[in-house]
Amino acid sequence: MAILNYLVPFLVLITLVVFVHEYGHYYFAKKYGVGVTDFSIGFGKELFGFNDKSGTRWKFCAIPLGGYVKFFGDRNVFSQSEQEELLKKYNKIDRQKLFVTKPLYQRSLVVAAGPFANFVLAILIFACIYIFVGKDFTPAQIQEVQKDSPAFINGLKKNDIILEIANNKVNSILDVSTYINASVSDKILFKVQRNQQEISLSIKPKIIKSKDSLGNDINRKVVGIKVAPVNNEFNKEKLGPVKAIFYASKETWFVTKTSLEFILQLFQGRGDTSQLGGPIKIAKITGQVAQHGLLAFLTITAYISISLGLINLFPIPMLDGGHLMFYAFEKVLGRPLRQKTQEHFFRIGLFLLFSLMFFTTFNDLKDIGLF
């Protein structure tokens, strides 16, 4: 029963974000006249499905970890170098439905539409939360500075109002911990208001082993302050659609930027690799979050959607970003890469993806105590 508490929310989440991703590909493919034979959620044996009026098979498969859109005449969405041989197999009408016969910009948009749809989903989720539930705009005032802490040593004082952390504007008391822990610099720049004056201070946080709100082990950055609302007054307001989309876009960009900075740190050998996780860790966190209600579940769905969109834009063959990389070569060279060259790239991409899967799976197993 406990497994179902994790598995069901995870399957709902992954189905939603994968469906939106693949629908992005599907929508632009249909828009540009590309034939779509299959729209699959999951891999392996088909469990159930149906055919629509255009002949597309919509189906759910046995392994629900991903999905794909299959185009007429193609196995994948990358450039086909042997186009002449491919075209001989089809008559004039069918050739117009082939993905590879479409202009380069259309192929690029079809491929990019999947990740783009994931970012749009995240923005819509955040916007709906801000419209129907509200967004917190409580100013963050320092209530206490712990003696001999990094904040104490570097000059933060009680009653300072925090304006910015690491060049991120603090709109809410809830932003403080997020911005501190999202910073990738050794020292974090604080801008505070004190006696009607703005003061900037650079603080090097301590890193301690701690638990997150769900009870999972994490490495947390602390500077030694406690924050509280100004005059103990909370300010949460429901936003109009335009303002909600504005703040939702800012939140989506912040998550994207922070993720990229974290990945850059990993390549530099400075990142916290213990924070990487795969399907098991995602399922665990999703199940934990789902127990806190619909709002928490929608929020984690938005974060996972952003991650899926971002990862798929990496220039790794087999991912959407890899296909876009091939199209960039095609634009520069004036022709698609040769099939053998593409195959070499795909072998490299396969190695990278399997290495990442192995590493994240190891972290997952370690996280649940098997190592």
pLDDT at residue 76 greater than cutoff 50: no
CA–CA gap between residue 113 and residue 309 (Å, rounded): 10
pLDDT at residue 367 greater than cutoff 70: no
Choosing from 22, 198, 233, 237, the catalytic residue is 22
- Dihedral angle sign, alpha carbons of residues 104, 107, 110, 113: negative
CA–CA gap between residue 42 and residue 322 (Å, rounded): 21
CA–CA gap between residue 126 and residue 12 (Å, rounded): 18
List Cβ neighbours of 185 (8 Å cut-off, separation of 6 or more).
Answer: 166
Q: What is the mean pLDDT of the chain?
A: 83
For residue 339, the cross-strand partners are none
Among 121-135, 165-179, 224-238, 293-307, the range of highest mean pLDDT: 121-135
Q: At what angle do helices 339-367 and 320-333 cross, to 10 degrees?
A: 160
Higher pLDDT, 307 or 343: 307
In tens, the pLDDT along 11-40 reads 888 999 999 999 999 999 999 999 999 999
pLDDT at 276: 58
pLDDT at 119: 97
In tens, the pLDDT along 189-237 reads 999 999 889 999 999 998 887 766 556 667 788 889 899 887 778 888 9
Among 90-94, 126-130, 315-319, the range of highest mean pLDDT: 126-130
Please give the share of the chain, as a percent, with pLDDT higher than 70: 82
pLDDT at residue 1 greater than cutoff 90: no
User: Average pLDDT of 68-86?
Assistant: 65
CA 323 vs. chain centroid, Å, equals: 19
Sketch the domain layout of the chain as residue ranges.
Answer: 2-132+299-367, 135-237
Cβ-based burial of 85 (10 A; exposed 0-12, middle 13-18, buried ≥19)? exposed
pLDDT at residue 104 greater than cutoff 70: yes
Q: How many CB atoms lie within 10 A of CB 337?
A: 19
Encode 298-327: b = buried (16+ Cβ within 10 Å), e = exposed: bbbbbbbbbbbbbbbbbebbbbbbbbbbbb
Please check whether residue 83 is in contact with residue 37, taking contact to mean a CB–CB distance below 8 angstroms. Answer: no
Instruction: Identify whether 82 is a catalytic site residue.
Output: no
Write out the E strands in the chain.
Answer: 36-51, 57-71, 135-136, 140-145, 161-165, 168-169, 188-194, 197-203, 206-211, 217-222, 225-229, 236-237
The 3-state DSSP class for residue 111 equals helix
Strands 197-203 and 188-194: antiparallel
pLDDT at 361: 60
pLDDT at 220: 83
Please check whether residue 193 is in contact with residue 186, taking contact to mean a CB–CB distance below 8 angstroms. Answer: no
In tens, the pLDDT along 154-183 reads 989 999 999 999 999 999 898 988 898 888
Query: What tokens does 1 get?
Result: 């029963």
| 82 phi/psi in degrees, rounded to 5 | -90, 60
Per-residue confidence at 370, pLDDT binned at 50, 70, 90? Answer: very low
Query: What tokens does 186 get?
Result: 């050794």
pLDDT at residue 77 greater than cutoff 50: no
pLDDT at 85: 67
Please check whether residue 282 is in contact with residue 10, taking contact to mean a CB–CB distance below 8 angstroms. Answer: yes
Domain 135-237 = CATH 2.30.42.10: yes
In tens, the pLDDT along 247-277 reads 999 999 998 998 888 778 777 666 665 565 5
The 3-state DSSP class for residue 145 equals strand
DSSP per-residue string spanning 184-234: -SSSEEEEEEETTEEEEEEE--EEEEEE-TTS-EEEEEE-SEEEEEGGG--
pLDDT at 34: 93
